[in-house]
Structure 1
Amino acid sequence: MSLCIIIIIFFFVSLVLQGFAIPKEAQTKVVEFSFHGTPAQLRHGDVVIAAITSCTNTSNPSVMLGAALVAKKACELGLEVKPWIKTSLAPGSGVVTKYLQNSGLQKYLNELGFNIVGYGCTTCIGNSGDIDEAVAAAITENDIVAAAVLSGNRNFEGRVHPLTRANYLASPPLVVAYALAGTVNIDFETEPIGVGKDGKKIHLRDIWPSNEEVAQVVQTNVLPDMFKATYQAITQGNPMWNQLSVPSGTLYAWDPKSTYIHEPPYFKSMTMSPPGAHGVKGAYCLLNFGDSITTDHISPAGSIHKDSPAARYLMEHGVDRRDFNSYGSRRGNDEIMARGTFANIRLVNKLLNGEVGPKTIHIPTGEKLSVFDAAMRYKSEGHDTIILAGAEYGSGSSRDWAAKGPMLLGVKAVIAKSFERIHRSNLVGMGIVPLCFKAGEDADTLGLTGHERYTIDLPSSVSEIRPGQDVTVVTDSGKSFTCIIRFDTEVELVYFDHGGILQYVIRNLIKAKQ
């Protein structure tokens, strides 16, 4: 139970002491609302999403069967999950279903709402689906810090669900426990998790299985034949998949009407001669960020918001809102992914003076636009754009669309205090120039507001650029400062010469065929 205590202390401190910017006098607020005719209450820290998900931890039979044992003991004692908590179980493999069913434990998870909803990425990548409208209204109208607890890998801002500001990672057994408690603001060691059918207070220790119980269930129900049967069936597909019509030919037949797969623009104007090095002249600042902008802030992920540029595109192409699906399912369509780049609702852009959301200022006119619309306005006007950022720009998962998206938006350079290692190389691979401020300097210390225009003077030939050399950046306001160019290897300079790694690979493949 020591691990539980550590996690509980973290939750309690993060919610109550930091308060998510909720004033101390408002932290005990109780919101009354009606859930399908039943009186309900919502407080800061209350759980509205509880998901056993992720392809990593759901591959561990001990924690999965451990969660099922927690559910069994809870059901036997009469504990229930509040009906407005969205619960789900999304294993990474069909084997999990087999051993949960073989053990007879899946029915207890079902009783608590942890029914199997699919296999693969769900809540982990923001694909939890909508929260009930009554719950959503209670959260938004009363500024409630609602919580999600999931057995996923990451809980960056805006990743799990737009309405859950407090997102916590836990083991599958603890996900069940927090769903039962209905709040993360609880000390499991001293406070009861709920009241049983006999009126007695039930604590976590009353439903927590011993190591011996878990080991016994694993030994008798996780069998080699389950793995063999599941993975042998992969090549057999299913009737719907097997009935798909597959066109013949060596080239893919692009369907211009498809909103899922679209011919990408990377090679449309490509010639066999590399374009060479390019500087950045008179660029506007598309976005001005502080520290710790993650790839989840940048990359399209999760559901497609009804008021977003991506939603507008889909509706223009005859797609109903109920069929929007997610960015993950439409990652083969660059038109949608470009519109979803920097669409994170928790984005903090200094150009907006504290307003949070996926918008920016079109500097020449002062208009507030979605990031995509502003970027397209700059491109149509023939202007380059850059991004200003603080430390650790691009931290988190190494998402390819976190570099592809900005490139499609027309971003030519990112000037940051520091970069996450893989994201920096991904930017280079997309032809975007990564620059670092000198030590002790950043946009604020240099007095940069993001309303300036930026010129980055680079040599016209890649042969004249050295990895890590100093370059001068000049603004139209008369400021001049020195940055370090973050092409870190000679091969990255080759990619830059070709306009990106994709073009470099294609040119080499064509040459090899000649």
Structure 2
Amino acid sequence: MSTSIDSFGAKGTLEVGENSYEIFRLSAVPGTEKLPYALKVLAENLLRTEDGANITGDHIRAIANWDPSADPSIEIQFTPARVIMQDFTGVPCIVDLATMREAVAVLGGDPEKVNPLSPAEMVIDHSVILDVFGTPDAYERNVELEYERNAERYQFLRWGQGAFDDFKVVPPGTGIVHQVNIEYLARTVMTRNGQAYPDTCVGTDSHTTMVNGLGVLGWGVGGIEAEAAMLGQPVSMLIPRVVGFKLTGEIKPGVTATDVVLTVTDMLRRHGVVGKFVEFYGKGVAEVPLANRATLGNMSPEFGSTAAIFPIDGETINYLRLTGRSDEQLALIEAYAKEQGMWHDADHEPEYSEYLELDLSTVVPSIAGPKRPQDRILLSEAKEAFRRDIHTYVTNGTAAAHSALDEAVEESFPASDPVEPSTAHDDIVKVQSAANGATGRPSQPVKVVTKDRGEFILDHGAVAVAGITSCTNTSNPSVMIGAALLARNAVEKGLSSKPWVKTNMAPGSQVVTDYYEKAGLWPYLEKLGFYLGGYGCTTCIGNTGPLPEEISQAVNDNDLSVTAVLSGNRNFEGRISPDVKMNYLASPPLVIAYAIAGTMDFDFETDALGQDQQGNDVFLKDIWPSAQEIDDTIKSAINQDMFRKSYADVFKGDDRWRGLSTPEGNTFEWAQDSTYVRKAPYFDGMTREPQPVEDIKGARVLAALGDSVTTDHISPAGAIKSGTPAAQYLEANGVERKDFNSLGSRRGNHEVMIRGTFANIRLRNELLDDVSGGYTRDFTLEGGPQSFIYDASQNYQTAGIPLVVLGGKEYGSGSSRDWAAKGTVLLGVKAVITESFERIHRSNLIGMGVIPLQFPAGETYKSLGLDGTETFDIEGITKLNEGVTPKTMKVTATKEDGSKVTFDAVVRIDTPGEADYYRNGGILQYVLRNMIKG
């Protein structure tokens, strides 16, 4: 049961029916009653895990006395109740656990003791690619291809599913991680070892925040934090500012949840919520269906907040009941939330740091694009916006201050003379022709002849991809049923999708298929080409699959700026398809409408989608389903049995999954020829007791970097380019270039990942003049010639020379990426000295055994006269062996002429827990040694 020292006397009992649970009552701590919901969850977390060292009474008092107007400054240790992963980012976590088992065995311990200490669940949803579309067998063929490509990874994960306690895998073809989370995995109130407490989670995917819609506090983290949480270690964070977002009114007919979320994203981006919690409150909250709450929570990364949460209320309970949770669980959730003051009370308004308000009745249909989710466009202005934006893409692919195309646009559509709404094909050709004269591009739309789709004209703005996909919207029956009813109405009017549109349909769970079938709507979707392609995260992450060959060739040969319309949450340039330059987020019904329209150069109010059998023009308003019909269909087509049936055997998988040849035993049999999954090297040579930490002597600089170097600059990501160390490794291991795949898919192989660390083409290492990319100077060779960072690192390590990295302000900002820290340590870096750190990357470095130091206030390596050619000695590290974390350490940089620069670097080991991790060589080593002792 409890391990808390309970200095507030908060521990007590909650009786619910015939069951009794240990709880920690917030009422024992004065001040907590006025906190926002999200901070009450954090306060309970601290009460329950108070240990007197990392989590003290002062931390609990700090949160109880939270000053809404203060900037975050107080660091706390948050212990999430569980961890959720997807397969791309989760594989390295399981590789590390598997490697820990072997390390425990080598050190004489019991390998079976290495298990997640908090429940850990992985949903395999990021590996299905929609290669096949628009055919009845698309789903089967895509799943076959998925298993062919990912057999090595899946065998490994299936082994993990059997080998580890408290680790469960939801096999491929089930659904999208965040939808499976809200429909099945989320508890809202956890029960474990006789305790009841709020369900909280961290996940290895940024859209983990979708679960905030259920009142579950959680967000996306990097792999190191996820592994630490899995192994019972807290996540370090600052008590945040909380933005109160008041909802009033009701959405109007014809407006979707997608329109609401694009409006909220736009508002919060403008307001600025990075690093803050957003909490929805007010009388309007009760009117927001749970699926819409999840849609809003999901978009938290797009507006930049850490979390975007709704408190628990009657609507939460109704949704949990619909999705098949037990009556016993529902009774506990309601009783616990009311006991702890966590039940939403519209008349009790907490204090917030900042306030926003949205009257839902003012929301109008919207899309977002062509390259960012916050770039909202009113649907009524979409055609005009497309014509304004197209010039950016028809010139050299980058916006010019004022180009020939601007003049052409102004000439055709003067600002004082708005465009007459029409299909206006001649007008846009005229614009292109004027521009193409200046750019040398073809001045006419292109005729395309295909084998199975007939002949057609392809033009700028053509919708090449129409994808109903992603966690944001496929979890929401109102927009999914709305899309299917619109499809039915369109088919009955004789409309069809254009032949050049790749129609993708990838629901977030199998329940969507069930309710489509019960409502008799699948045939209409299929008639428009929206056959089931897979259950997984597809178009949104670039798993769109290739365009038909003839279309792809026409687009690339003629440099056409074609478009994608998707119901996802991300539309960054190059993300959706390499052939598509302009990407628009839209609701599922609008995705289908654009598939019928076939172009972004379209005004739904005035342009007809086609003609019916009688030759009458058909407009969007003629096929848009009414709110009443959507609601009636939801009520008649969706029931609790669907969820219970769909999730009854969710971890078992289909015949393919069960038929995988999987190693047995409590340790994994690593395949020596695998280029995807390899044993991690972190525990090589590890001893039962930590060796004393040592001062750093004679270190060389691997990289001297500027301000705002992000984890994207450091961490391996994207394509594997020929000629780079990663490509050379794969080729040496018999992998052909066409099978390189991406760095992301190979995260389970440290050999590939080390070679991609600090290899971003935009990284600028000040050791070199006017060179960008993964290069440095190798001082193990005469004259210190230019070399790949990886190659130099290997030479330094062979020579026994430690390495340091120098940096500027905000080092490690951006997304939390575990390989930014893992790659750093595996390259032989012992210390990183910067002007300032992003908080999570700083803690990740310590978690991998790298010491983070800061230059004295106001100083930089340049102001100190350093250029990176020096050798570095760092004194004072040995004090950590005595249990003391010094505030500063003496750094001596010796230049090539023998002169020295000395300064006191500020030590950024900020908590007792971090000092323990560093002394042990990293967080995983710390946990492993404690497991052996235990």
TM-score normalised according to structure 2 size: 0.45
**Whole-angstrom distance in 2 between the partners of 1:119 and 1:394:** 33
Query: 1:350 is matched with which residue?
Result: 764
Q: Is the 8 A contact 1:300 1:401 kept in 2?
A: yes
Change (3 A) 1:361 1:63: same
CA distance in 2: counterparts of 1:134 and 1:390, whole angstroms? 49
CA distance in 2, matches of 1:391, 1:81: 48
1:193-244 superposed Cα distances (whole Å, 9 cap, x missing partner): x641458776655554443232222222222222122112324432233233
Is residue 4 from structure 1 mapped to residue 365 from structure 2 by the alignment?
Answer: yes
Deviating more after overlay: 245-254 vs 72-81:
72-81
Q: Which residue of 2 aligns with 1:122?
A: 538
1:435–1:486 contact (8 Å) kept in structure 2: yes
- 1:399-455 deviation per Cα after TM superposition (whole angstroms, max 9, x unaligned): 433432333344444555655443432232122334556777778x85999765574
What is residue 386 of structure 1 aligned with on the other side? Answer: 805
The aligned counterpart of 1:21 is 398
- Matched residue type, 1:4: P
Offset at residue 491 of structure 1 (A)? 0.9
Q: Which residue of 2 aligns with 1:361?
A: 775
Q: Cα distance, 1:348 vs. partner?
A: 2.2
Deviation at 1:501, TM superposition (A): 0.7
- Find the aligned partners of 1:86 and 1:55 in 2 and give their Cα distance: 20
Amino acid at match of 2:825: M
Partners in 2 of 1:25 and 1:278 — Cα distance? 58
Partner of 2:701: 284
238-247 or 28-37, which deviates more: 28-37
Amino acid at match of 2:708: D
1:490 to 912, 924, 928: 912
- Name which of 497, 510, 513 aligns with 2:932: 510
Shift of 1:267: 0.9
> What is the CA distance between 1:265 and its match in structure 2?
0.8
Looking at structure 1, the residues matched to 495 and 595 of structure 2 have their Cα atoms a distance apart, in angstroms, of 14
Query: Once structures 1 and 2 are overlaid, which stretch shifts more, 331-340 or 137-146?
Result: 137-146
Q: How do residues 201-280 of structure 1 correspond to structure 2 at under 5 angstroms? A: 205-275=621-691, 276=693, 279=696
The 8 Å contact of residues 802 and 829 in structure 2, kept in 1 or not, is answered as no
Change (3 A) 1:125 1:401: farther
- Measure the CA separation in 2 of the matches of 1:144 and 1:486: 51
Within 1, Cα distance between the matches of 2:771 and 2:389?
Answer: 22
Tell whether the 8 Å contact from 2:518 to 2:637 is kept in structure 1 after alignment: yes
Q: Give runs of aligned pairs for residues 58-457 of structure 1, distance below 5 A.
A: 58-75=474-491, 76=493, 78-81=495-498, 83=500, 85-131=501-547, 148-154=564-570, 160-161=576-577, 169-177=585-593, 192=607, 195-197=609-611, 205-275=621-691, 276=693, 279=696, 282-286=699-703, 288=705, 291=708, 293=710, 295=712, 298-300=714-716, 309-320=725-736, 323-341=739-757, 347-351=761-765, 359-364=773-778, 367=786, 369=788, 372=790, 376=794, 379=797, 382=801, 384-386=803-805, 388=807, 390-391=809-810, 393-396=812-815, 398-414=816-832, 419-435=837-853, 446=863, 452=869, 455=872, 457=874
Greater mean deviation of Cα atoms: 299-308 or 268-277 = 299-308
Deviation string 1:241-271 (CA, Å, 9 cap, x unpaired) is 3233444433222221223321111111222
Q: How many residues align?
A: 500
The DSSP-based 3-state class of the residue aligned with 1:21 is coil
The alignment-based identity, stated in percent, is 41
CA separation of 1:342 and 1:249: change in aligned 2, threshold 3 A = same
Largest Rg, 1 or 2: 2
The superposition leaves residues 266-308 of structure 1 with CA deviations (integer Å, 9 ceiling, x where unpaired) of: 111222342425548543344746537355x654556656666
Which residue is 2:877 aligned to? 460
Change (3 A) 1:141 1:36: closer
Q: In structure 2, the residue corresponding to 1:234 is in which secondary structure? A: coil
Tell me how far 1:492 sits from its aligned partner.
Answer: 1.0
Contact 1:139 1:163 in 2 (8 A): yes
Name the SS for the 1:386 alignment partner. Answer: strand
**8 Å CA contact retained: 1:412, 1:432:** yes
Q: Which segment is superposed worse, 232-241 or 464-473?
A: 464-473
Quote how far apart the aligned CAs of 1:384 are: 1.9
Given that 1:5 and 1:189 are in contact with CA atoms closer than 8 Å, whether structure 2 keeps it comes out as no
| 1:58 and 1:92 in contact (8 A); partners too | yes
> Separation in 2 of the partners of 1:46 and 1:389?
45
Q: Which secondary structure state, in structure 2, belongs to the residue aligned with residue 337 of structure 1?
A: helix
Q: Which amino acid aligns with 1:25?
A: S
**Distance in 2 (alpha carbons) for counterparts of 1:414 and 1:268:** 23
Q: Is the 8 A contact 1:159 1:302 kept in 2?
A: no
Q: What secondary structure is seen at the aligned counterpart in 1 of 2:648? A: helix
Structure 1 gaps, min length 5: none
Look up the equivalent residue of 1:428 and give its one-letter code: I
Mean Cα displacement is larger for which, 47-56 or 258-267? 47-56
Query: Equivalents in 2 of 1:385, 1:427: separation in Å?
Result: 12
Distance 1:446 1:142 in 2: 51
CA distance in 1, matches of 2:695, 2:734: 40
TM-score, scaled relative to structure 1: 0.76
Aligned partners of 1:266 and 1:488: how far apart in 2?
23
Output one character per residue of 1:365-391: Cα deviation in whole Å (capped at 9) or x when no partner. 66475x655655665564625263654
Q: Contact 2:875–2:890 at 8 Å: present in 1 too? A: yes
Residue identity opposite 2:930 in structure 1 = N
| Distance in 1, Cα, partners of 2:580 & 2:698 | 41
Matched-pair contact (CA < 8 Å) for 2:465–2:503: yes
**SS across alignment from 1:118:** coil
Gaps spanning 5+ residues in structure 2: where?
1-254, 256-362, 370-374, 378-384, 406-431, 779-783
**Change in CA separation of 1:413 and 1:99 when aligned onto 2, cut-off 3 Å:** farther
CA–CA distance in structure 1, aligned partners of residues 587 and 892 of structure 2? 48
Measure the CA separation in 2 of the matches of 1:367 and 1:137.
39
- Cα distance in 1 for residues equivalent to 2:890 and 2:502: 52
Range 408-417 or range 490-499, more displaced? 408-417
